[in-house]
Amino acid sequence: MKPFIEKVKQENIGIVKENEPLSNHTTWKIGGPADVLVEPDHVESVKKLMDLIGLYGVPWRVIGRGSNLLVADGGIEGVVIKLGKGMDHLEIKDDTIQVGGGYPLIKLATVISREGLAGLEFAGGIPGSVGGAVFMNAGAHGSDVSNILKKALVLFPDGRLEWIKGEDMDFSYRTSRLQREKGICVEAVFQLEKGDKAEIVKHMQANKDYRRDSQPWKHPTCGSVFRNPLPNYAGQLIEEAGLKGFQIGGAQISTMHANFIVNIENAKAQDVLDLINHVKQTIKTKYDIDIETEVEMIGRPKEND
């Protein structure tokens, strides 16, 4: 890793941090160290970094704001690419916006609503980045990214940088082709609609208020943990199974919303994983329903655990 890290530093790609605790970069505040964390400052910097990763054969993965992500206590081997500063540009042209993959989604929804543009109100309370939202087809309140994405600039592991149209993203519930092809959304173009600014702001604020009042944000959380096994809802099943407030280690099923796991006391990733498995087994036993996580679980177990 050392030759790779030194080369990355020489290329002035962005911020480079060795043995960086990923608990500093996830909304759960959980996760062991990355061998190296790199925050590229430009699209071309990401491409240059990927070229070096290919040249040195280094394992890699990308994160945005670290929501919907459980990093193991042993951390992550190789390089973690974080899209943040320098990858958070925004350009507004009439009813179309072009935005960097590192732009915070909640901030974007707020800014855009004040411009009198409709279509992003659903994102007012989703903790994540634009790139992560495209990757996951993030959604809420009956809408999602697939409804507004015009195209995305995607960097593939082989170094290709390609614009992909929204209709070619193979979107489905919390899913896109990027999950299959390991593509990094470094930029997105959203097609919105002009509307009444006051009504749009009101609508978006109502969505934010609903999430604030019905979901737990006083403790670190990643957002919803389980996919809804439609026509059922994960939170309702977990609550009816009597699991609200159930706790393992420092991780607890929220007493406010059963599809959230909160870090109430320095939780470890293993606490969360054990809690997830307990929920799965309970729901299977009680209702014969398989529920799957929408959280991505990555990294290596901690030695001697």
**Catalytic site residues?**
174, 224, 294
Omega before 231 within 30 of 0, i.e. cis? yes
State the maximum Cα–Cα separation within the chain, in Å, rounded to a whole number. 59
DSSP-derived 3-state class of residue 50 = helix
In this structure, the chain runs to a length of: 305
Nearest by Cα to 161 from 42, 58, 59, 60:
42
Q: How far apart are CA 45 and CA 152, in angstroms?
A: 17
**CB hemisphere CA count around 208 (13 angstroms):** 17
Instruction: Give 31's DSSP letter.
Output: -
C-beta of residue 46 within 8 angstroms of C-beta of residue 155: yes
Instruction: Give 302's DSSP letter.
Output: P
Q: What is the dihedral sign for C-alpha 167, 156, 83, 88?
A: negative
CB crowding 232-251: b at 16 or more within 10 Å, else e: eebbebbbebebbebebbbb
Q: How far apart are CA 274 and CA 280, in angstroms?
A: 10
- Strand extents, DSSP E, the chain: 14-21, 33-40, 60-63, 69-71, 76-82, 90-93, 96-100, 117-118, 139-140, 143-144, 149-155, 161-165, 184-191, 193-194, 247-248, 251-253, 261-263, 296-298
